[in-house]
Structure 1
Amino acid sequence: MKAPAALVRGLHSAWRKKGWLSTLLLPLSWIAAAAVARKRSQFEHKPALVHHCRIPVVVVGNIYVGGTGKTPVVIALLRALQSKGWHPGVVSRGYGVKVGDRARTGQGDLDAGQFGDEPALIARTAGVPVSVHPDRTEAARRLRRDFPNVDIIVADDGLQHLALGRDLEILVQDARGIGNGRMLPAGPLREPADRLRYVDVIVTNLVAGQPDPAPVDSPARQVRMRLEPVKAEKLVSGETLNWADWLAEHGKEPASAVAGIGQPARFFAMLRHHGLTLSQTASLDDHYDYAESPFEALATPIVLTTGKDAVKCARFQDSRIWVVHAEPRFSDPGWLDHVHEMLRLIARHKASVVPRRRGD
């Protein structure tokens, strides 16, 4: 059961500093840290517990609980890989979806109720096959069986899912960095802060206009990312305009924005920074199920929402809804080429040393 939004906001506020509440919870964090260390040691000392695929596996994840902006990074990575001739597939938990013993696979225009909002968005946007299951190993095996042309797996989240072997790790954080540096529940971290020293790439997701943070103490390649709106699509008709044309045609009309993502304020800030005045905003819980329409409470003739929300909203047939398609702008665009070169070498090595196994 999800925690109430007010409680979540209160915890995130407390996790910015080492205040009295954080200090009170610190003994529980020590227990959590010990459990994480024990789990990692178990997988390190028993290699048979780890499933290694014959093709490269990239994990895109975070250690800060809640949304940091992984999905835009995943989509950018997928597109870059496709441009280099790869045939990627995605494995994901499928948040909020009851899958059963076997992973669920699909490609194209997928039902968010069957696959989860983020996998459905990734499948529609990047056109790649996806496989969802809480057990990422099961998801990877089923993906390979159902889509044998896949030659690289990108795991959307799963940095802490150690049973799935990985060849490269990309960690996504935002301006909050590591917060107060403490693990749950005294802080926001799923793993100790020094985990950042062992990933390959760190992408820092910043709000438009936000100053660059200090570099992280890590040998990883470090990249800053800012999302920019590139086009708007009318949900009921599919009419699409690039952002400049949309602003020229609709930017003077009263507009509201709705977001059910990890950090809705980032979406609203992006819209304002790129020329839009918002009359109202509605911040919903991450992965909001849209069992009822939140748009009816908004009186404006224009309502904007995210791609992640849009995969669950078509049934409302609300002609006011426009979907904002945003893309990342990286401070170091060459990091994607760097990842491609690393993966090319990894694929060549795997093909030469890893024996073929049935079902892999």
Structure 2
Amino acid sequence: MSRTEAPTIQAQVPASGWPAWWMRRCWLSRALLPCAGLFAALAAARRLAYRRGWLKAWQAPVPVVVIGNVTVGGTGKTPLVLSMAEQLQRAGWKPGIVSRGYGRMAQAADPMEVRADADPALTGDEPLLLRRLSGCPVWVGSSRPQAARALLRAHPEVDLLLSDDGLQHLALARDLELVVVDARGPGNGWLLPAGPLREPWNRRRDATLGPREALATMPQASPGFVIRRHLGAVRQLATGERIGIEAFVQRHAGQAIAAAAGIGHPEQFFAMLRQAGIPLSSTLALPDHHAFGADAFVAISASAVLITEKDALKCKALQIQLARLWAVELQLDVDPAFFPWLRAQLRARTEYPHGFTPA
């Protein structure tokens, strides 16, 4: 088999990151429509309970921006949260970040502050990545209001909260809701479990961000901003050496290069590597938030293995494997109109606070 055919040596998740039948309307998805109807009714009842005040949402004393998605799995929210945190700090804001911390150990403190030297098993991989790259205070907790209150008590200088995910967690009132979509769009367009949607595709939002083709399928009532993901430099885990993609390819010319990812949509990462000119000999697709054990890369026979920055956080203990592991930086190009729009929205909500609460 030629190297460019790139076999998947352990396909634990499908190419889309979703069950194949979520991408089309087939007999199985149709059979689950009654369950989807029940899911929709329960979700609507819950929204109504918050709208009528039967369930209370906690209102933070500072503006709250929720960045989430209406589909199951990752759509690239974390890179956007990071970009927003960096831009808002440059504009003079002092943001803090709250997150659920998916994948963290059950015995971890709840809520807890994410420190730069924390164990990702206790904090979750994405919150730790946000803490290290943004420098912002980050708290995680099963209850976002509790995490937000704890963050504000510990960091009274914080004047803005960013919630990484949490679109459906209505207990935390919010001033802005941003929906992030990816190239998969709505899949077959049906709610769980018949399809990948947590909420209707046309649900209310303040803005939508994603690739141009996905934005074309969104409702036109709210603004849309194009975001484009691309690869940056690669970093060697054993030495910390950081080089560009072209230099990496030249160094490993004639050698087998593999890639592994434990993220929501591994094939998207692999496709980006191939588009960047990296000839992958094999790929290893793993579930999101996968915990890498000592034998994580034993099945891969390659001189170099490319992984995501998020996965690299969990590979510190793999001392024998580190020499061939390289973490790939992910960079985000955001529509230049987005950040002026965001700052204007925040200014308006600072002058007239809490103009929107979850419904």
Structure 2 distance, partners of 1:286, 1:11, is: 11
Give yes or no for contact 1:110–1:124 (8 Å, CA) kept in 2. Answer: no
- Residue 252 of structure 1: CA displacement? 5.4
Within a 5 Å distance, the mapping from 1:162-177 to structure 2 comes to 162-177=170-185
Residue number in structure 2 paired with 1:259: 261
User: 1:20 and 2:27 equivalent?
Assistant: yes
Residue number in structure 1 paired with 2:61: 54
Q: Secondary structure at the match of 2:49?
A: helix
Within a 5 Å distance, the mapping from 1:183-222 to structure 2 comes to 183-195=191-203, 198-205=204-211, 214-222=216-224
Give yes or no for contact 1:232–1:325 (8 Å, CA) kept in 2. Answer: yes
Structure 2 distance, partners of 1:156, 1:223, is: 18
Amino acid aligned to 2:273? L
Identity %: 39
My pick for the range that moved more, 258-267 or 313-322, is 313-322
Q: Secondary structure at the match of 1:246?
A: helix
Gaps of 5+ in 2: 1-10
Amino acid aligned to 2:349? I
Return the match for 1:156 from 164, 188, 194. Answer: 164
The alignment yields a C-alpha RMSD, in angstroms, of: 2.4
Q: Secondary structure at the match of 2:42?
A: helix
Give yes or no for contact 2:73–2:264 (8 Å, CA) kept in 1. Answer: yes
- Residue 334 of structure 1: CA displacement? 1.8
Structure 2 distance, partners of 1:76, 1:328, is: 8
User: 1:320 and 2:327 equivalent?
Assistant: no
Return the match for 1:344 from 326, 341, 347. Answer: 347
Shift of the 288–11 alpha-carbon distance from structure 1 to 2, 3 Å rule, reads closer
- Residue 15 of structure 1: CA displacement? 1.4
- Residue 62 of structure 1: CA displacement? 0.6
| CA displacement 1:50-83 (0-9 Å, x = unmatched) | 1111111111111111121111111111111111
Within a 5 Å distance, the mapping from 1:104-119 to structure 2 comes to 104-119=112-127
Return the match for 1:79 from 86, 89, 104. Answer: 86
Amino acid aligned to 2:323? S
Within a 5 Å distance, the mapping from 1:124-139 to structure 2 comes to 124-139=132-147
User: 1:294 and 2:296 equivalent?
Assistant: yes
Structure 2 distance, partners of 1:21, 1:341, is: 46
- Residue 150 of structure 1: CA displacement? 1.2
Give yes or no for contact 2:201–2:218 (8 Å, CA) kept in 1. Answer: no
Give yes or no for contact 1:60–1:170 (8 Å, CA) kept in 2. Answer: yes
| CA displacement 1:88-123 (0-9 Å, x = unmatched) | 111111112226674101332332011001101111
- Residue 292 of structure 1: CA displacement? 3.4
Give yes or no for contact 2:16–2:265 (8 Å, CA) kept in 1. Answer: no
Give yes or no for contact 1:110–1:123 (8 Å, CA) kept in 2. Answer: no
TM-score normalised by length of structure 1? 0.88
Task: Provide the aligned length of Structure 1 versus Structure 2.
Answer: 342
Amino acid aligned to 2:189? G
Q: Secondary structure at the match of 1:314?
A: coil
Shift of the 143–10 alpha-carbon distance from structure 1 to 2, 3 Å rule, reads closer
Q: Secondary structure at the match of 2:161?
A: strand
Structure 2 distance, partners of 1:135, 1:213, is: 31
| CA displacement 1:171-221 (0-9 Å, x = unmatched) | 1111221122211111111112221xx111211248xxxx67635223222
TM-score normalised by length of structure 2? 0.89
Structure 1 distance, partners of 2:294, 2:32, is: 37
Structure 2 distance, partners of 1:169, 1:246, is: 39
Give yes or no for contact 2:185–2:214 (8 Å, CA) kept in 1. Answer: no
Q: Secondary structure at the match of 2:60?
A: coil
Structure 1 distance, partners of 2:36, 2:161, is: 33
My pick for the range that moved more, 263-272 or 8-17, is 8-17
| CA displacement 1:311-360 (0-9 Å, x = unmatched) | 10011122111110111123x22202211221122123339x9xxxxxxx
Q: Secondary structure at the match of 2:50?
A: helix
| CA displacement 1:21-72 (0-9 Å, x = unmatched) | 1111111111110000000000011077011111111111111111211111
Amino acid aligned to 1:335? F
My pick for the range that moved more, 222-231 or 161-170, is 222-231
